[in-house]
Structure 1
Amino acid sequence: MNQLTTDQLTRYSKFILMAFFSFFGLLVMYSNFTDYSSNYEYVGHVLSMDTTRENTNITDRAITSPMLHHRIYWIIITLEVMYTVCCLIGTYQLLKNINASADAFHEAKKLSIVGLLIAIFIYYVCLQVVGVEWFNMDESQTWNAKDWARHIVDFILPLLIFVVLKIER
């Protein structure tokens, strides 16, 4: 029987964790395409700032145009599709190179890294930075995804570090 080495296990774990995150991306895409109206409603409320406390110093930040809500939501959906596709192809590349040389396996990480960076942009920059700091999303009792986004980033960032590290031999 073939013994599984630590190096092989490390490679498989990178592949498996990327597969987990790719699956998450597929579920997000499915949700956005099959339940567009609920997710659009969320984006519209955050951008409109209509469920946060009234603060005249920042209400000029609100975007109340439904046309802009749709466009911004489609940008988000496009970015989610991009990260999911990159992660799926990256996961496939990791699997394809699972028994290759250390250099070949390391080079196979490119699309996984790109996908994870796009996902960090969405869940950290767009939701946690812009959503919370610019549109005060965290003050909304109903339309607050700060904690949800933080939990996703809490998975993505260590995964990105783990995937990028060249520890395979």
Structure 2
Amino acid sequence: MNNLTTDKLIRYIKVTLMMYISFFGLLVMYSNFTDYASNYEYVAHVLSMDTTRDNLKLSYRAITSPMLHHRIYWLILTLEVTFTGFCLIGSYHLYRQLNGSAEDFHEAKKFSLIGLMIALFVYYICLQVIGVEWFNMDQSTVWNAKDWARHIVDFIFPLLIFIAVRIER
């Protein structure tokens, strides 16, 4: 432990946290690909707005086409694969630069930052903004992932800031 400086520990922590979010992404991908039907059903219900409170003024927002449900779900899957891939590659690049210069370690953050931004897009924009605010997902007692998405964003956003901040020497 005598060789472990605070700066080195911060680098290890950044790599470890990126591996955590990468592991999360892998589990989400596994779930979405191995249980396509259940996850598709969730997307279809949210887009159809068929389990939210009856509000005729907002019903024009519903998307009821199964073809569009599948396409939107595949867009979400693609974004999840992309964010996970970038986070995995970012973890690898950070790991490779653990003993590199401060400049090299900072430059190794690019893939991690891109992956985290894509993850924020999926869990904040797609689920919390569009799902909750446009499709009223929060009004459904069955198909509501608002709190789940919020917890993920509560991890991703501070992680994005922590990774981006240049505190290593």
The TM-score range, normalised by the shorter chain, is over 0.9
RMSD after superposition: 0.7
Q: Could you state the TM-score of these two structures normalised by the residue count of structure 2?
A: 0.99
1:5 aligns to 2:5 (yes or no) = yes
Q: How does 1:113-132 map to 2 (within 5 A)?
A: 113-132=113-132
Work out the CA distance in 2 between the residues paired with 1:132 and 1:29. Answer: 22
Return the letter of the residue paired with 1:27. Answer: L
Work out the CA distance in 1 between the residues paired with 2:103 and 2:149. Answer: 33
How far residue 69 of structure 1 moved from its aligned partner, in angstroms, is 0.1
SS of the equivalent of 2:10 reads helix
Equivalent pairs counted in the alignment come to 169
2:54 aligns with: 54
SS of the equivalent of 2:72 reads helix
2:87 aligns with: 87
Return the letter of the residue paired with 1:31. Answer: S
2:105 aligns with: 105
* Deviation sequence 1:125-148 (CA, Å, 0-9, x none): 000000000000000000000000
Work out the CA distance in 1 between the residues paired with 2:29 and 2:130. Answer: 21
| Percent of pairs with identical residues | 72
SS of the equivalent of 1:99 reads coil
Return the letter of the residue paired with 2:97. Answer: N
* Deviation sequence 1:36-75 (CA, Å, 0-9, x none): 0000000000000000011011000000000000000000
Q: Could you state the TM-score of these two structures normalised by the residue count of structure 1?
A: 0.99
How far residue 3 of structure 1 moved from its aligned partner, in angstroms, is 2.1
SS of the equivalent of 1:63 reads coil
SS of the equivalent of 1:55 reads coil
1:44 aligns to 2:44 (yes or no) = yes
Q: Which runs of 5+ in 2 are unaligned?
A: none
How far residue 14 of structure 1 moved from its aligned partner, in angstroms, is 0.2
Work out the CA distance in 1 between the residues paired with 2:95 and 2:79. Answer: 24
Q: Which runs of 5+ in 1 are unaligned?
A: none
2:31 aligns with: 31
